[in-house]
Structure 1
Amino acid sequence: MALLSLLPLLFVVGTAAGIGWSASAALIFRPRVGELLTNTVLLVVITVPLCAVIGVGGAWLVERTSLSGAGAWGAVLAMPLAIPAFVNSYAWVSAIPSLAGLGSGVLLATLSYFPLVYLPVRAALNRLDPALEQAAASLGRGPVRVFFGTVLPQLRLALLGGALLVGLHLLSEYGAFALIRFDTFTTAIMDQYRSTFNGSAGSMLSGVLMLLCLALLVLESRARGRARYARIGSGTPAPPQRIRLRGWQVPTQLALLALGIAALGVPAVVIGGWLVHGGAAVWRVGELVPTLLQTLGLALGGGVVTVIAAFPLSWLAVRRPGALSRLLERTNYITSSMPGIVLALALVTVSLLFVPALYQTTALLLIAYALLFLPRALVPLQAGIAQAPQSLEEAAQALGRRPLRAFIGVTLRLVAPATAAALAMVFLAVAGELTATLLLSPIGVQTLATQFWSLSSEIDFAGAAPYATLLILLSAPMTYLLFRESARASTAGAPVDESIPSKPESA
């Protein structure tokens, strides 16, 4: 998998070598690249902290305060994952056609991606031993000092893992920013390939994008440090003491309501309005049903292939940490930050040169999905394996079970919730994947995302509305599964072997 993940890098390097280093430098060091670099860096620098604040704040309100309707708000804060970013952008552009530029990009990206921070932070907060907070409070610290001095350091690993995923999504997102005419490296690469098919210019832009991805990985690794947060046992059985909001109850409810309206209400109202405007004519069942079935099959197939590929990498990173496992793991993050079209072109080139039978097949498309979304499976799987005590597996072997039977009977069962979460995350990603699917899908195969994009690009917003509706309805159950399994894993209270870091290297 690590070698396959290097294909886009080899593709970019091969293109640079083919045109010469002087020509490559001329394509990189020009004003247009500086403009794209400024836009992309500002987008990441502004959006990631906003997602972190909303994700951590939402998790803390739901799990540690007297927030009315905390259970309902907990689900609402996770549901934006069911709405692809380009569908969110379509809804907001329909409501406010003047949306454009950096501010609009930050708004749409924040509304789409803050759940990537909220879910892991809420799970970590749920597993945090309340005795730590009680001890800090008994020393005279107020709620604010307890949060920043005791709680937040314990959430650092989950927060950094979610922030890394948000950053990688921002580097690779295309549809959401193309609709609001905000230029990033990804939109520029797509423009190069689709308008002029200038492979050299697009490949050099891809090289700069890979460097940005590496910078994100280094920053996350430095911020994470070598801290370990494992403990033996499930902590204090008593529930945490919730902080009374008192006069802050109404402002907090209004703030969450505004967030819910922006992230969920606007897409729901706009899509519903386009459905009413289009009437029964836009529900072309003969086209919708085959597209829905093909999307479902590809999403499930891509999820299964990706989880199977991610499992050995996750096990190696947790049970055998070291320089090699970190290198193998980080290699996969590079590919996930690349635009789908770069990976797709690399796979097309390799398949035509070495395995022509793979070209224009579903198998090649599933390989692309696995390479693009492997990190989405790595994060929950590594967290699940880290929470499964190795001592239980060793005890099973001591009782006469062979290593494989002990692994399947003990560890694999304990990792089941994390596996379901990984499958749900990849399912959501594949269902909404756009660029690689456009290039690699076999002739006659269409997905809800590609059909939606085709119609919305033609300004047929009413015709695109049914595809957006089905895409959300298809993603909603998996989002709920992800939310439920995340909560179940966080409250299971499985004891953790203190020799294993409770936070895997990738998150």
Structure 2
Amino acid sequence: MAQALPVRSRRHSRGRFKGRGGAWVIGLSVLVSLLALLPIAFVIGVSWDIGWGQIVALVWRPRVAELLLNTLLLVLITLPLCVTLGIALAWLTERSDLPGRRLWSLLAVAPLAVPAFVHSYAWVSLVPSIHGLPAGVLVSVIAYFPFLYLPLAATLRRLDPAIEDVAQSLGLKPWAVFFRVLLPQLRLAIGGGALLVGLHLLAEYGLYAMIRFDTFTTAIFDQFKSTFNGPAANMLAAVLALCCLVLLGSESAARGAARYARVGSGSAREPCLVQLSGRSRALGLALQALTCLLALGVPLITLGKWLIAGGREVWQLAELLPALEQTLLLGVVGALLTTCAAVPIAWLSIRAPGRLQRLLESCNYITSSLPGIVVALALVTVTIHFARPLYQTTFSVLLAYLLMFLPRALVSLRAGIAQAPVELENMAQSLGRSPARALWLITLRLAAPGAAAGAALVFLAITNELTATLLLAPNGTRTLATGFWAMTSEIDYAAAAPYALLMILLSLPLTGVLYHHSKRTAGR
């Protein structure tokens, strides 16, 4: 009898879905997913139009080989360093008795509030000769390691301490417990975080342009400026998209089919912390302090130096206030639009999971993994050839944000809808409410915290977005990111400092929300 109840409830919800109320949900989901396929269609269409002979001539060039080598070296060196640093910091803050663990945990997440190109700006103004692969690796590690620290720390908080107790009772030393018991449990977190960092490495433009390190993204942007959407830029975009798909496939294969969930509620207690010796404690504190100095101290000290050196003159309110207004406007409208577009897909994934839902969801995830410059080039091509009035309009910018950041809203919204009982939605429909009104009045109200978290993540991404905004924004549009880039392009680092500071101040509250949300979902 205990098993019959969920079966009836599931059939009941699917019956509702198959009625007239589900058609508009499917229609909107298909429309959003078709829009998400535009960048993929752009890559395929460009390759088809160019022809095989010209593809070979454009791809098999020394320049492409150089860019590919730079990209491979950047990814192969940066990812292991980020993984190692993330694991070390997460273990120190979650499994050791390191003094000030909570403070160090917060400081390990805080670098997310500093855009990657602001990190690069700080290092270039501090050490003007810094450039090339070593500089790219250094700045990438300190800018992106929080993407690994967050899931690793959250996973360590959720792990049942009993598995470590059993390992220790069998005579394993602390290091053996870590490598043989803890590390295998972190496999999914490592894979997901490494994938996120890898996609950022492939997509980033401002960071590498400032330190004069050539990647596919910097080369595509340079080609676009010189030839305006010429074949060379399009084929470089196709190779970059292929690299992203290879990275996605590699992470999926590495994930495997192993099971990581436990049966039962587990142990409801805090894990036993490893007691660090005097030398180990000093090394742990030194690692935390050095990471904090490089990831937070360098950009904040550099900004302070330029603000003091520039004085009042750098605070050009006539330019700063419109840039702040444009950033807030695009961020708020883009976050609302993206969250609304994610509603039908999120509802399908919870209320009617199946092959269609998985296919529609996959379209959005694959497109969001593509670099912003590929998405921007796709929209430039489509609008020029098929919708010329939309070229370089606010609509095209918002559409790019939707395609790039929809999964950020989708994940949080899906979790919120899952916590809203389907019975309440069905009851509202039985009382005469239309499916749309039942979804709006009941489900979305209960899922509001998840929707707000997803919208906050999208807003944070939009405020720091540079590449797509530079290519798609109407003439005269200036956000904090593009204003910062314009000042640094003129080597006016003092005038760029207020833009960077405002971006950090906008991002800090949302980064704090993300940190506390990860603590809360882990049960602390």
TM-score, normalised by the number of residues in structure 2: 0.85
Cα pair distance change 1:415/1:47, threshold 3 Å: farther
Corresponding residue for residue 19 of structure 1: 50
Partner residue, 1:495: none
Give the stretch that moved more between structures: 462-471 or 435-444.
Answer: 435-444
Preserved contact between residue 416 and residue 448 of structure 2 (Cα < 8 Å)? no
Q: Secondary structure at the match of 1:209?
A: helix
Q: Residues 241 and 371 of structure 2 are in contact (CA less than 8 Å); yes or no, is this contact kept in structure 1?
A: no
- For 2:371 and 2:246, how far apart are their aligned partners in 1? 17
Match of 1:503 in 2: none
Partner of 2:76: 45
Shift of 1:454: 0.5
Aligned partners of 2:94, 2:441: CA distance in 1, in Å? 33
Name the aligned partner's letter for residue 181 of structure 2: T
**Inter-partner Cα distance in structure 2 for 1:211 and 1:323:** 25
Q: Does 1:76 align with 2:107?
A: yes
**C-alpha distance 424-59 of structure 1, shift in aligned 2 (>3 A):** farther
In structure 2, the residue matched to 1:358 is: 390
Say which SS state the counterpart of residue 477 (structure 2) adopts.
Answer: coil
Tell me the CA shift for residue 474 of structure 1: 0.9
Query: Which residue is 1:258 aligned to?
Result: 290
Distance change >3 Å, CA 139–CA 73, structure 1 → 2: same
Indicate how the Cα distance of structure 1 residues 338 and 476 shifts in structure 2: closer, same or farther if over 3 A, else same.
same
Letter of the 2:285 partner, please give it: Q
Residue 144, structure 1, aligned to residue 172, structure 2? no
Task: Note if 1:5 corresponds to 2:36.
Answer: yes
Which residue of structure 1 aligns with residue 459 of structure 2? 427
Q: What corresponds to 1:467 in structure 2?
A: 499
Q: Which has the larger radius of gyration?
A: 2
Contact 2:416–2:449 (CA<8 Å) still a contact in 1? no
The one-character-per-residue Cα deviations of 1:6-48 (angstroms, maximum 9, x if unpaired) are 2122223323333322011100111111111111111111112
Matches within 5 A, 1:382-461: 384=415, 388=418, 393=421, 418-461=450-493
Equivalent AA in structure 2 for residue 102 of structure 1: L
Q: Name stretches of at least 5 consecutive residues in structure 2 with no aligned partner.
A: 1-31
Q: Which runs of 5 or more structure 1 residues have no equivalent in the other structure? A: 493-507
Question: Which residue is 2:133 aligned to?
Answer: 102
- Counterpart code for 1:183: D
Relative distance call for 1:153 and 1:414 in structure 2 (3 A) is farther
**Structure-1 separation of matches of 2:443 and 2:138:** 41
Q: How many residues align?
A: 487
The correspondence of residues 37-436 of structure 1 with structure 2, limited to 5 A, is 37-197=68-228, 199-231=230-262, 234-247=265-278, 248-314=280-346, 316=348, 324-380=356-412, 384=415, 388=418, 393=421, 418-436=450-468
* Amino acid aligned to 1:290: P
Q: Does 1:490 align with 2:518?
A: no
Q: 2-side partners of 1:180 and 1:10: how far apart? A: 33
Task: Give the aligned residue type for 1:374.
Answer: L
Instruction: Please state how far the C-alpha of 1:51 moved relative to its aligned partner.
Output: 1.5
Deviations 1:402-438 (A, max 9, x none): 5979988997678655544433332221111111111
Compute the displacement of 1:443 (Å).
3.4
Give how far 1:61 is off: 1.4
Per-residue CA deviation, residues 222-261 of structure 1 (Å, 9 max, x unaligned), is 1112234345665322111111112211111111100000
2:460 alignment partner AA: L
Superposition TM-score, scaled by structure 1 size: 0.88
Q: Determine the structure 2 residue equivalent to 1:496.
A: none
- Structure 1 CA distance for aligned equivalents of residues 449 and 149 of structure 2: 18
Instruction: Name the CA distance, whole Å, in 1 between partners of 2:369 and 2:199.
Output: 5
Q: Note the C-alpha offset of 1:146.
A: 2.2
Task: Report the identity percentage.
Answer: 55
Contact 1:418–1:485, Cα closer than 8 Å, also in 2: no
Matched AA of 1:35? E
Shift of 1:89: 0.2
Q: Distance in 2 between matches of 1:431 and 1:350?
A: 25
Residue type of the partner of 1:66?
D
Q: Which amino acid aligns with 1:363?
A: F
